[in-house]
Amino acid sequence: MFLDEVTITVASGKGGNGIVHFRREKYIPRGGPDGGDGGKGGDAVLICSRTQSTLSAFRHKRRFAAAVGRPGGGSNRTGRSGDELLIPVPAGTIVRDAELGQLLGELIEPGDRLVVGRGGRGGRGNARYTSSTNQAPRMAERGAPAEVRRLRLELRLIADVGIVGVPNSGKSTLLAAVTNARPEIGDYPFTTLQPQLGVADLDDETSLVLADIPGLIEGASAGAGLGTGFLKHISRTRALIHLLDGTAADPLADFNQVNTELELFDPVLARKPQVVGLNKLDQPEVRARLPELEAAFKSRGVQLRPVSALSRQGVRELVLEAYRLAQETEVEPEQDLPIYRPKPNGSKYQISRALDGSWRIEGTAIERAAEMTYWEYEEAVRRFQRMLTKIGVTESLREAGAKDGDTVYIGDHELEWRE
């Protein structure tokens, strides 16, 4: 099964915890604090792979997590950083945020990298909190939490030239005639159910990658036939070979129909240069009507190139013309409409009250701070309380009516409010 779109969940590594530790050496009765910092969590990275051509590797595994940072040690030893997580994807993968639909990047060339999750920083050990007024701090910091994201991966095949046309026009036969591809070939519509890639060697130094796009019928842009699933694979091609069935009742109508579907799906596709081939020249009825068809297309400003994919008559000339057009055309990069998204203010918070009388405080910075606090150390708790006062949470809770003994939730932590 050809898999070209998938949603996955990726998590970076949590930062390692800093520790509380004091030097203990013989003849040194009052050793100072030497708790080390935790290591940084591993980044989650998508990397473009040479060996993958579809997203089928994600069929059974959709969740990925990078390694966590290790905790710090005594003697000011920093914990080991977590290894980054490399997730291989095929060339031509577009990456979007699954929640916002925002374009994050695209991986085109083998080796291209896209960091989709930054590892959490390591927590600070108690050696970092030593000051002239606090010579023996009994507090440290937990590692920063992991960054979790849902991503939508979309594959757009990397090909120089796309072969399009109505079903049964001979696209697969043409691809097999000029490349090393071996697509299924049959005398019935929709024989090809997924895009096929092949490489045509034009000479000792020049090659051309072609993609056979499954047949387009009227209404394909709205989901008819094989629908829009494969139309997107034409977007990265530089030029198109538009192949027509010479035995069809009205090849000109077929030509207009396919171009209409391309326009409806994406106006960029309709602007791609096309070389138009009339296939099945090996059949007498096609040769008989050739002058009439050439005149009809010429009146529309289109040069018709008669070919036979079966006998390979005129095929090389058709492919060389497609190569020429491809060399003259640049691929338009994937773009999103410019949408202004203000950078979130991490210091903002929101206070709400539940039916049971408990309170919940929500906010990026405050939830992160709660996650990184060592609740078992009194100094760490007092530091967290000072932060609540500094950013105004304490006063806001008081104004909202919080009383001694009320339960306050911050992230996954349950606290008791005390004046």
What's the pLDDT tens digit per position in 278-297? 999 999 999 999 999 999 99
User: What's 368's domain CATH number?
Assistant: 3.30.300.350
Predicted local distance difference test score (pLDDT) of residue 374: 93
Predicted local distance difference test score (pLDDT) of residue 17: 96
Residue 337 lies in a domain: no
DSSP lists the bridge partners of residue 296 as none
Predicted local distance difference test score (pLDDT) of residue 230: 55
Q: Classify residue 54 by its DSSP letter.
A: S
pLDDT < 50 regions, the chain: 1, 183-193, 217-228, 337-340
* Same domain assignment for residues 396 and 363: yes
Query: How far apart, in Å, are the Cα atoms of 224 and each of 3, 107, 130?
Result: 19, 30, 70
Domain boundary among 95, 128, 156: 156
DSSP lists the bridge partners of residue 22 as 33
What DSSP element (H or E) covers 241? strand 239-245
User: What's 124's domain CATH number?
Assistant: 2.70.210.12
Amino acid code (one letter) for 239: A
Domain boundary among 134, 156, 178: 156
Contact 307, 313 (CB under 8 A): yes
Predicted local distance difference test score (pLDDT) of residue 65: 96
Residue 339 lies in a domain: no
Predicted local distance difference test score (pLDDT) of residue 1: 43
* Same domain assignment for residues 63 and 96: yes
User: What's 237's domain CATH number?
Assistant: 3.40.50.300
Residue 320 lies in a domain: yes
Domain boundary among 107, 138, 156: 156
pLDDT digits (tens, 9 = 90+) for 347-376: 688 999 988 889 999 988 899 999 999 999
Residue 57 lies in a domain: yes
* Same domain assignment for residues 173 and 277: yes
* Same domain assignment for residues 190 and 291: yes
Task: State phi, psi for 91 to the nearest 5 degrees.
Answer: -60, 135
What is the C-alpha radius of gyration for the chain, rounded to an integer number of angstroms? 32
Helices 251-265 and 284-298, interaxial angle, to 10°?
60
Q: Classify residue 195 by its DSSP letter.
A: -
Residue 233 lies in a domain: yes
* Same domain assignment for residues 117 and 214: no
Domain residues for the domain of 280 are 161-327
* Same domain assignment for residues 242 and 309: yes
* Same domain assignment for residues 233 and 254: yes
Predicted local distance difference test score (pLDDT) of residue 336: 53
Q: Classify residue 124 by its DSSP letter.
A: P
Q: Count other C-beta atoms under 10 Å from residue 156's C-beta.
A: 21
Residue 226 lies in a domain: yes
Predicted local distance difference test score (pLDDT) of residue 153: 94
Residue 344 lies in a domain: no
Residue 342 lies in a domain: no
* Same domain assignment for residues 151 and 12: yes
Q: How many helices (H) and strands (E) does the chain have?
A: 8, 18
* Same domain assignment for residues 114 and 202: no
* Same domain assignment for residues 321 and 263: yes
Instruction: Say how many domains are in the chain.
Output: 3
* Same domain assignment for residues 360 and 280: no
* Same domain assignment for residues 96 and 145: yes
